């Protein structure tokens, strides 16, 4: 069996039955919410289990779930985004393939595994997390990675490694930061310029004579579908995925070849919501020095000492407090941020109307973000027709 035949075998297996996911989306969110709100109170899963027996019952449906929560409790961190969904989808497939053996590679040495799986893991450049396999036959097994470099999982069929990307839809895909210049025109990062033809095309599309991103910070900019699909195509080219795994609107497990996902004639994907966000989540050193000075004028800033400015805290997007998780920032003109530790004065909401002093060298600037939003247009039965005669 060659790789193409192995992929066809796996597709046929997934579409041979409805394969409802072992957890619903609501149940996954229940687990994630409970952990997020309580992980700082526990150090071991046994304590977490006693406190939340209903959540433990859900976690018990995914063998990797307990391991993931236990590890995160130990290091006092929240769950990795999307990890419970990945565990759910892979457990659903493992159940169907009757892969009833489960190994946590953080607690079990590789040499305890069957020799075929052991050889594959030793040869892999990436560290795996979990393995699902059948004790009596290792023709098929699943290796779960869950890190960006290795992808989400590899499903091995007769020695052929099938790389799988798993997403809970709707989802953002191909997300990249870019820049803009002092004239408000979009500028690609070096990574985008070299690797992302789709985002480069988006930049070229919007950089007409009238475009100025500094005039439209208050709303996101929709990206046309013909450009959005290019962003998704770039994403799959960079990740070298063999199959895309998700669930349909009825929570049935599906797998899709990237070429079918990207074929607009097959109408597999909805791209509604793809956008440029002028105010992304990532900050860097100021890259528009002229616009920074203009923004200080907009906020009626006063230079009270060399490179030290004073702004009256208005508590709004032009000049006011910005709260991001546990870090408090003072922001002005939408995209500029200063950490509170570099500020003299009261930058909080209770300080509205009072002066805030800071050195211009401590200012950071948000980067715009470009991303495609993807969702499934088709049900599992409709997707099945694509592969029926292949």
**Summary mean pLDDT of the chain:** 93
List pLDDT tens digits, range 96-123: 999 999 999 999 988 889 999 999 998 8
What is the per-residue pLDDT for 218?
Answer: 85
Torsion of CA 228, 83, 35, 349, to 10 degrees: -30
pLDDT tens, residue by residue, 212-246: 999 999 899 999 999 999 999 999 988 889 999 99
Which tokens in the block code for residue 228?
């959005």
Is the four-CA dihedral 271, 273, 277, 282 of positive or negative sign? Answer: negative
For 158-197, write each residue's pLDDT tens digit. Answer: 999 999 999 999 999 999 999 999 999 999 999 999 999 9
**DSSP labels for 56-75?**
HHHHTTSHHHHHHHHHHHHT
Give the pair of three-digit tokens for residue 255: 């797998």
Mean pLDDT of 340-346: 89
The confidence band for 326, taking pLDDT boundaries of 50, 70 and 90, is very low
- Look at residue 75 in the predicted model and tell me its pLDDT: 93
Query: Which letter, b or e, does each residue of 79-94 get, where b requires 16 or more Cβ atoms within 10 Å of its Cβ?
Result: beebbbbbbbbbbbbb
- For residues 128 and 107, the answer to whether their CB atoms sit within 8 Å is no
What pTM, to 2 d.p., does this model score? 0.88
Averaged pLDDT for residues 354-370: 96
């Amino acid at each position: 069996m060659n790789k193409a035949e192995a992929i066809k075998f796996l597709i046929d297996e997934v579409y041979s039955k409805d394969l409802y996911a072992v957890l619903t989306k609501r149940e996954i969110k229940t687990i994630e919410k409970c952990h997020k709100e309580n992980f700082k109170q526990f150090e071991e899963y046994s304590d977490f289990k006693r406190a939340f027996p209903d959540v433990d019952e859900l976690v018990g449906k995914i063998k990797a779930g307990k391991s993931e929560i236990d590890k995160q409790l130990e290091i006092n961190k929240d769950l990795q985004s999307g990890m419970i969904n990945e565990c759910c989808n892979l457990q659903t497939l493992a159940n169907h393939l009757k892969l009833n053996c489960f190994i946590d590679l953080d607690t079990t040495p590789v040499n305890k595994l069957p020799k075929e799986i052991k050889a594959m893991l030793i040869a892999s450049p990436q560290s795996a997390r979990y393995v699902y396999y059948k004790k009596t036959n290792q023709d098929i097994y699943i290796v779960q990675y869950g890190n960006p470099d290795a992808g989400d999982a590899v499903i091995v069929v007769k020695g052929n490694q099938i790389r799988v990307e798993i997403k809970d839809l709707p989802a953002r895909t191909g997300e990249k930061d870019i820049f803009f210049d002092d004239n408000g025109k979009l500028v690609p990062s070096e990574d985008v310029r070299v690797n992302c033809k789709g985002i480069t095309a988006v930049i070229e599309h919007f950089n007409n004579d009238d475009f100025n991103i500094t005039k439209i910070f208050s709303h996101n900019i929709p990206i046309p579908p013909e450009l959005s699909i290019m962003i998704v195509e770039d994403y799959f080219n960079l990740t070298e995925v063999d199959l895309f795994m998700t669930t349909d609107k009825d929570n049935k497990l599906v797998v899709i070849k990237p070429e079918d996902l990207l074929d607009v004639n097959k109408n597999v994907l909805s791209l509604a919501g793809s956008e440029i966000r002028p105010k992304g989540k990532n900050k860097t050193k100021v890259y528009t020095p002229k616009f920074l000075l203009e923004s200080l004028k907009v906020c009626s800033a006063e230079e009270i000492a060399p490179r030290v400015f004073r702004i009256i805290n208005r508590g709004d997007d032009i000049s006011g407090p910005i709260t991001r998780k546990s870090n408090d920032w003072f922001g002005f003109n939408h995209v500029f941020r200063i950490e509170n530790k570099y500020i003299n004065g009261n930058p909080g909401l209770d300080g509205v109307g009072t002066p805030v002093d800071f050195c211009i060298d401590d200012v950071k600037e948000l980067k715009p973000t470009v991303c495609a939003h993807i969702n499934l247009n088709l049900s599992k039965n409709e997707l099945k027709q694509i592969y029926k005669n292949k």
